[in-house]
Amino acid sequence: MGTRRIGILTGGGDVPGLNSVIKGVVYRGSDLGFEIIGIRRGWEGLTSLNVDDPGSRTRYIVPLTRENTRAIDRTGGTVLHTSRTNPSRMRCLPSHLRAEDFPKADSIHDGKPITTWDVTRQVKKNLNVLGLEFLIAIGGDDTLSYAAHLNRESGTNIVAIPKTMDNDVRNTEYCIGFSTAITRAMDAVNRQRSTVGSHERIGIFRVFGRDAGYTALYTAYVTSTRCAIPEYEFDLEKMIDLLVTDKRNNISNYSLVILSEGAQWKGYQVHYYGAEDAYGHRKRMSVAEAFDAELRQRTTEETMVSDLTYDLRSGEADFLDKMVASTFGNMALECILQDKTGMMTAIVNGCFELMPIPDPLLGPRRVDVASMYNTERFRPNYANKLGLPIFLTLAREP
């Protein structure tokens, strides 16, 4: 049997810990005699690669060795780069593919006709030409939704590794990047207390969390603040009253609230801007700025709005993310050794497990409001945690 060639890519937003996964895969792979091939720029690398063009190969393909991955875990981001590319909904074909007859779909968006192409056939072709026996896809719910499609529709051998600071991938209690994001958010909130308190204001913080509120909820959990999450529409007047009361009851005369980017109050109209990304998402106007305007209109309080979003995904990973990332990388290789495909590394009931890649139709995993969020006080629920896994949530929750 010849040397097994394994591909690896990172897709979607970067998070701390990605390089630890890559290094873990390369080091374990070299011990096993595997050849590890890095696919650069996520799914773009497998859609735009022109195998007959040396420049294209250089742009999208990089052999990974112990030598060129030795120190990558000391920095954040991903050495393979990333993109938000959906091969099943390509709006523009690479020049060398424009003469090909790919399945296409026509639709209307904002009154304009849109044509997209499904280039899965090309992805499969490139995997075959590169001689990749398995592909390790590292990503969040969007990247892994295409991994599931590729595995189920074309039979490609795939092992998935979940990463997202939102911690909202199904079938796992933990995603790479979450611990570092919470640690950074906690540090930022606690640092900025001095400024909010010095000026006797109400501090409003925005964190990532378009569909799930784990980042806001867990930051609030460790900073003892109020929060708003996408899973529950809060009462605007009540939230403002609670924050004003908190401020008056605080000897330093300030209060804080943490808002998920997808948080809403009853009657709030979400405003979007910019074009849709490859998975149909548009950027949201800041709910923190909108909430700030409502609060100042209804009270005489001064405020401070702080957007923590991109700072949380930058820089080196903390201990937990490095440990989980390295472990997930090794688990992926062990999965390949057993010729298991369509699986995802995961943490279930606090233990490392292999789980099926989530069904994209189910969408992201969401906070269980009844057990985790106090809807009267707009705070995390601290009670009844005995017997729960370390991350206070269950992978198999609805």
The vertex-171 CA angle with 372 and 162, nearest 5°, equals 105
Average pLDDT over residues 353-372: 95
- CB 16 within 8 Å of CB 76: yes
Which domains does the chain possess? 5-176+317-362 (3.40.50.450), 179-314+368-380 (3.40.50.460)
Q: How far apart are CA 184 and CA 312, in angstroms?
A: 6
pLDDT band at 398 (very low <50, low <70, confident <90, very high): very low
Which residues are within 8 A (CB) of 273 and not within 5 positions of it... i.e. 6 or more apart?
A: 282, 283, 284, 285
Q: How far apart are CA 24 and CA 326, in angstroms?
A: 5
- Other CB atoms within 10 Å distance of the CB of residue 129: 11
Bridge partners, 204 (sequence order): 257, 305
Bridge partners, 347 (sequence order): 352
pLDDT band at 397 (very low <50, low <70, confident <90, very high): low
Bridge partners, 203 (sequence order): 256, 304
Return the pLDDT at 191.
96
Furthest CA-CA distance within the chain: 75
Residues 157-182 pLDDT 10s: 999 999 999 999 999 999 999 999 99
